[in-house]
Structure formats: C-alpha cells, structure tokens
Amino acid sequence: MKKRVLTYLKFSSLILLVIVLFAFTSKRNKQRKISEVLIEFIEEQDPYVNELMVNKLLIQNDGRVTNVGKEILVLNTVEQKLDSHKMIEHSDVYLTVSGELRARIKQRTPIARVNAVTPFYVDITGNTMPLSDSYSAHVPLVHNVSEREIPEVFPLLKKIQEDEFLKKHVVGVYLNVKGQYELELRVYSFRVVIGEVENLTGKIKNFKAFYQKALRDKSLDKYKKVSLQFSNQVVCTIK
C-alpha cells in the first residue's frame, strides 16, 4: 500500500513539475522580444517594393517590430497591413522559435504602363497599381487610354505579356481617334492596327505569318501600316 502511495506521489509531482516548467517557458517566450526581422521576396521579380518599405510597414506602436514583445505582435494584423500595400500581392508572416520575425513577400506583376496625367501600371490580374519609387518596369506604354477603359484593353495587354513574339516586339499600345487599337513595334516604324479587342488569337496568328514572309522578303521597311482588323486578312499600306 505504501509503495502504491509513493508511486502516486512521484507521478503527481512529475506532472506538477511539467506544468510549472511549461508555464515558466511559456511566460518567458511571451516576454522575449523579436530578435530580428528577415524579409524574403518569393519568385524572381523586379524590386517594386524593397526591404526598407516592408520594414516601415512592419512598424508597430510607433516603434520597430524588434522592440515588441511576441505576445503583442498579432501576425494576422501584420499580414493584413502588408497585403494592403499596392505593390504587394500576398504576404506570409510567421515567428520562429528563436524569436525571428520572417515575412515572405510576393509582389504584384505589372504588364503595362498607362501614360496618363498620373501614370500607373496595369498588373497581371487587370488591376491598376501605382508607379514604384524603386524600379521602373520595362513594359509596353499605353496611350490615349483612361482607367475606365482598362477592362476593355486588358485582354490585349495580357496577350502581349503571354506571347513571347509580341513581348519581344511590342513597345506601345495606342487607341486612335477611330477607336481602334494599334501596336507600336520596337524596331520597325509601321503601326499594327488591331482594331477592336476581339479574335486576338486569329489576328496575331495572321500577323506572325505576314511578319515571317516579309522578313524573308526583306520588305518590312516598306510599310507604313499593317491592318489586322479585317477577318482573315492582312492589309498593308506602303510608305
């Protein structure tokens, strides 16, 4: 009987000790300050937002995050603050056991720059984003298009972004006085008239076929305008 009571007391003492140690460790962990902030930019992207900007977004209570106790820092709030930045698509913020605050950042991807009174980018999702103080994107310039018209022209901008041939050659998109969209090329001086933003796959296929033939014939410098707006036709205007 005494042996059983002794075993019970030892077991109870062990449980109590574990509880005390857990409470002590938990308290110390909460009181521990954030030791370091590490920022990682996922995917290889141009630096539209830099570490300094992210650090500013991480500032809490008028002080640096490294001055904040771990129990004060609310990770969801920090993520929401980062995600609200117009250059950031998504963030993932977490704490390590050693007290490091780590933030994984995915930036938004601009595919065109609109030449307006206040210039802005159009990103890969069709939304607008401001210009960056850190980096200027090498994307086609869009002229004579307002923010209200972005949904209309976006399929053309996305097509240019996704097609390696167009991405290599197209440097500008214009909306002319007739309401037709035109493309400006990097090397050649002729304009490519797309017309309305419809049947883009067929129009681009016809343009590629024309381009390859004219390249072989060494006649690309002869043209002033190449129109793709008519069904299954490429209509050229000589200089």
- Same CATH fold, 110-238 and 31-107? no
Q: Can you read off the two tokens belonging to residue 230?
A: 């008519």
Cα separations in angstroms, 231 against 16, 169, 191, 201, 210: 83, 23, 18, 12, 14
Structure token pair of residue 108: 């938004």
What single DSSP character describes residue 215? Answer: H
Q: Which of 93, 120, 119, 114 is nearest to 105 (CA)?
A: 93
Per CATH, the number for 110-238 is 3.40.50.11690
The SS3 assignment for 152 reads helix
8 A C-beta contact, residue 185 and residue 220: no
Pick the CATH number of 31-107 from 3.10.20.310, 3.40.50.1460, 3.40.50.1820, 3.40.50.10800: 3.10.20.310
Each of the 239 residues of the chain gets a pLDDT tens digit; together they read 545 544 544 444 445 434 434 443 344 444 445 557 777 888 767 778 777 777 777 664 444 555 544 454 567 777 888 888 888 888 888 877 777 778 888 888 999 999 999 999 999 999 999 998 888 889 999 999 999 999 999 999 999 999 999 999 999 999 999 999 999 999 999 999 999 999 999 999 999 999 999 999 999 999 999 999 987 889 999 98
Instruction: Please state, as a whole number, how many other Cβ atoms lie within 10 Å of the Cβ of residue 58.
Output: 21
Cβ atoms of residues 70 and 99 within 8 Å: yes
Check if the beta carbon of residue 172 is closer than 8 Å to that of residue 141.
yes
pLDDT confidence of residue 127: 94
Q: What local confidence, expressed as pLDDT, does residue 14 receive?
A: 46
pLDDT on residue 126: 95
- Per-domain boundaries in the chain: 31-107, 110-238
**Separation CA 10–CA 147 (nearest Å):** 74
Structure tokens at 95: 């704490």
Partners of residue 193 on adjacent β-strands: 182, 227
For residue 24, the one-letter residue type is: F
Question: What's the rounded Cα separation, in Å, for the pair 24 and 69?
Answer: 16
Question: 16 is written with which tokens?
Answer: 């109590």
